Chain A
Amino acid sequence: MECNPKIAKACPYNYYWLARFTDGEEVAQYTEHGREVLYQEVLNRLDTGKGLSFIALIPTRKGLPTYSQEIDSSWQRPIVFRRHFVKPSTNEHHLMFALGWQATINGKNYKSILYIDTETGQVLITHRDW
């Protein structure tokens, strides 16, 4: 998966998400025309029973790695969000992307999340909220 330069131009972050469904359809966080696509678009498709193959975080900047989470929609649910750290007094705004999956197994929720520093591409893998 390579960065789409038109999407990269529209994306204000160092990464954008891209979901590929089992029927081959791809939905990205931005269209090539620069319109932002809410993640709700992915959830809406999943609600119809459509299967997800994977969700990837694709870097818009050279030197950062791509991250991809394969999903088996028959038992896994994707986790994708951005964690913001805001310091109003210094106008600092740090961002991490979270990518992973969760599943309900024997009535208990299990999850695995990869936290990705959007500046460095470094990751933390955890089963808990961080």
Chain B
Amino acid sequence: MAASVDVREINGSGAGTPTVVTAAKFCTADNNNPGTTYPIPIVSGQTKRSYWKSHELYLSGTYTQISNIYIYCDGTMFEAGMTTYIGDETLVAASYQQATGTPGDTGDEMVAGHAGITAKTNLNTYVVGSPKLVDAGPYSTPPERTKHVVLQLDVADTASPGEKGPETITWRYDEV
């Protein structure tokens, strides 16, 4: 059995509950599978936000070492008026913090609301040639959790309504 690597979203209070996700959805609730509920409203003169999302890799199976974990996108996430941010800090599981906000209206901004995040960067900055380092590792004793990233979608009043995406985020890692 080779290494098995899953992307997990952590939700809920306390240490949180990780769930394997394939198609994460930004919404205005702490929910990994909202469907079409909890959309992010477009309001004139305001920027509304999704609740922030905490995503990690879960490493299991057998491997000698997993290291050099990076994340990036294609540089064109969503459309005008919509900005996907990633927290500059990547955090160990103990620093997980539940996303907060007003359900159905807006999430709290990650830098202001998350104790582990002091700054954020447009995810479009990180592309295949200049990905963001999530966790250098190395990990060698499965099962293990990598550091997690904090993601948030801002929606300005210039955005157009409707269900958007899908957009693709790529995770990269080295396995020995």
Contacts and interface: CB of A to CB of B under 8 A. Distances in A.
A87 B64 contact: no
A91 interface: yes
A119 interface: no
Interface stretch (B92-100, B104-112, B168-176): B168-176
A94 to B, nearest CB: 9
Interface of B: 1-2, 5, 7, 21-24, 62-64, 68, 166-176
A11 to B, nearest CB: 10
A84 B23 CA distance: 19
Which range contains the number of A residues in contact with the other chain? 20 to 34
B169 A89 contact: yes
Contact of B22 (A39, A43, A91, A129): A91
A85 B172 contact: yes
Nearest to A90: B168
A36 B169 contact: no
Nearest to A79: B176
A125 interface: no
A116 interface: no
Given A86-B5, A129-B68, A38 B172 contact: no
Given A43-B64, A81-B174, A86-B5, 16 more contacts: A12-B2, A38-B62, A81-B175, A83-B173, A84-B172, A84-B173, A84-B175, A86-B7, A86-B170, A87-B169, A87-B170, A88-B22, A89-B22, A89-B169, A90-B168, A91-B22
Nearest to B128: A85
A39 B171 CA distance: 23
Nearest to B1: A36
Given A12-B2, A36-B2, A39-B64, A86 B176 contact: no
